[in-house]
Amino acid sequence: MEHKKVRVRFAPSPTGGLHLGGVRTVLFNYLFAKQHKGDFVLRIEDTDQTRYVPGAEEYISECLSWCGLKPDESPAMGGPYGPYRQSERKPLYRQYAEQLVASGHAYYAFDTPEELENMRQTLKTPENPSPQYNHVVREKMRNSLTLPDAEVQELLTRNTPHVIRINMPANEELTFTDMVRGEVTFNTSQVDDKVLLKADGMPTYHLAVVVDDYLMKITHAFRGEEWLPSAPVHLLLWKYLGWEADMPQWAHLPLILKPDGNGKLSKRDGDRLGFPVYAMNWTDPKSGELTKGFRERGFLPEAFINMLAMLGWNDGTEQEIFSLEELIQKFSMERVHKAGAKFDYEKAKWFNHQYIHHKDNETLAALFLPVLAEKGLSADPAYVATVAGLVKERCYFVNEIWDHGFFFFQSPESYDEAAVKPKWNADKEAFFTAWSSLLESLTSATAADLEVAFKALATEKNLKMGDVQLPFRIMLTGGKFGPPVFDIVATLGVAETRNRIAKGVDAFK
């Protein structure tokens, strides 16, 4: 058998922000493609113009760039199988719909919106609140299966508005093998006669997805579980168009579930529970409503990706931290779980913490400088990098460098006086005056040297280290927290340290 190059696609409809489940679909596609030295295609499925939202396509591309999951072919980059926007491929689809009509697998339907509505109202029962156009109902409707041929020809000649529907067989068993779920069987009686080509000549998703997966030589199609009910329609289209041998292998990926209760995690759950659900901030162009994103919340893309990989997959060991390279090597669709994965925001934060802790200081500094700028402050990037190195092990988010290290950028505005004042006395004051003078000669000392000098002075003055170290820390930071105190001194520098000693001594009197 000919060995086909692996080609996968992410095929979003540009209807709004990108849900983290969508990014996980991108990720699994990407990992599989890269593992097999294949191609990852981004195709924009914009055939439903009523749902089209301006800006959504650009937003999706930016999300992919931020995550480092760049496609090999896309609307923006082009490629050998373009165009990659379905609306630009419109003229291509009709021939396939007509081919299906000619072979009896599809038919013209001339029903007006009023006739369809009338059908729904007449057939509606409490058990069946929204009757579908299916193998039973179509018998009573105006289509090329029920009308005489001459009338059909006449209607077509007069350009009567019509759609093309698939002719779903009654009571046929259809089976395919899903890479995640194994064998999946459907009965065609449960499926309605989906529209394939709309009155305006645009294909629906069902026709376009099959035609494009075929023409773009897609070998594997991975998508969310919510698309599983559409699989029988697609399966039949592949068969009826005579392309069955080229049908991609499918995998329907498990849903990402709410942390509390059941059901798919929605944007509203994020709003309700106070965490992001979209990859990046998204502002709805119509309502102006802003939905917060992981990027703006302060997630590093590597952490976001790693967290997503673990939502529904593991490598069979306890390992949780994987670089993208490692994921490419180890990922396998067979190890993706069938059951939905509960989203756990605390775990997501844990991943970010791990990555921040191990991130190089220069990168953290670059990410933190804008946070400083927002506060009207600026600092030398090398200085910010040193600070980042001292506090990063405590940070879950880049902006927390501020919470744990604000005193590196401004002198404390207040002190934890209760921790110092009751035990403050003239001896301590004299110690700090001496220490401040001594510091003048220690301008290039390391943290370790500073500590030795401080200890020696304390001993000389008959003070215990513990008695002077805490007041010293509070002079520098305002409180009892922070990295090792002599690291703070070495970072702030002697001049600033001496200012803070003078200020502290004054305040504690």
Q: Which residue lies nearer to ligand GLU by CB, 195 or 209?
A: 209
Q: Which residue lies nearer to ligand GLU by CB, 223 or 295?
A: 223
Catalytic status, residue 267: yes
Cα separation, 7 vs 43, in Å, equals 12
Among 13, 132, 306, 352, binds ligand GLU (CB under 6 A): 13
CB of 17 to ligand GLU, least distance (A): 13
> Binding of ligand GLU at residue 497 (CB under 6 A)?
no
Closest CA to 380 of 466, 299, 233, 493: 493
Q: Which residue lies nearer to ligand GLU by CB, 223 or 428?
A: 223
CB of 177 to ligand GLU, least distance (A): 17
Q: Which residue lies nearer to ligand GLU by CB, 25 or 354?
A: 25
Given a contact cutoff of 8 angstroms between Cβ atoms, the answer to whether 231 and 188 are in contact is no
CB of 138 to ligand GLU, least distance (A): 25
* Cα maximum dimension of the chain: 113
Among 30, 59, 186, 227, binds ligand GLU (CB under 6 A): 227
Cα separation, 429 vs 502, in Å, equals 10
Amino acid identity of residue 316, one-letter, is G
Alpha-helical runs (H) found in 68-133: 90-102, 113-123
Closest CA to 336 of 63, 25, 110: 25
Residue 286: exposed, middle, or buried by beta-carbon count in 10 A (0-12, 13-18, 19+)?
A: exposed
Of the candidate spans 10-18, 113-121, 239-247, 302-310, the one that interacts with ligand GLU by CB under 6 A turns out to be 10-18
Given a contact cutoff of 8 angstroms between Cβ atoms, the answer to whether 455 and 443 are in contact is no
Instruction: Look at strands 163-166 and 195-197 and give their pairing.
Output: antiparallel
Amino acid identity of residue 203, one-letter, is P
CB of 27 to ligand GLU, least distance (A): 14
> Binding of ligand GLU at residue 488 (CB under 6 A)?
no
Among 7, 223, 297, 404, binds ligand GLU (CB under 6 A): 223
What does the per-residue mask of binding to ligand GLU show for 355-374, with x meaning CB under 6 A? Answer: --------------------
Given a contact cutoff of 8 angstroms between Cβ atoms, the answer to whether 373 and 367 are in contact is no
Given a contact cutoff of 8 angstroms between Cβ atoms, the answer to whether 218 and 9 are in contact is yes
Q: Which residue lies nearer to ligand GLU by CB, 12 or 17?
A: 12
Among 6, 12, 294, 308, binds ligand GLU (CB under 6 A): 12
> Binding of ligand GLU at residue 205 (CB under 6 A)?
yes
Q: How many residues bind ligand GLU (CB under 6 A)?
A: 8
Give DSSP secondary structure letters for 8-42. Answer: EEE----SS--BHHHHHHHHHHHHHHHHTT-EEEE
Residue that is written with structure tokens 């060995």 in the block = 3
DSSP state of 376: T
Q: Which residue lies nearer to ligand GLU by CB, 222 or 486?
A: 222
> Binding of ligand GLU at residue 305 (CB under 6 A)?
no
Q: And the tokens for 183?
A: 């064998």
Q: And the tokens for 238?
A: 């592949």
CB of 186 to ligand GLU, least distance (A): 16
> Binding of ligand GLU at residue 299 (CB under 6 A)?
no
CA atoms within 13 A on the CB side of 424: 19
Q: Which residue lies nearer to ligand GLU by CB, 73 or 487?
A: 73
> Binding of ligand GLU at residue 219 (CB under 6 A)?
no
> Binding of ligand GLU at residue 250 (CB under 6 A)?
no
> Binding of ligand GLU at residue 45 (CB under 6 A)?
yes
Among 209, 210, 308, 488, binds ligand GLU (CB under 6 A): 209
Q: Which residues bind ligand GLU (CB under 6 A)?
A: 11-13, 45, 205, 209, 223, 227
Q: Which residues are catalytic?
A: 267
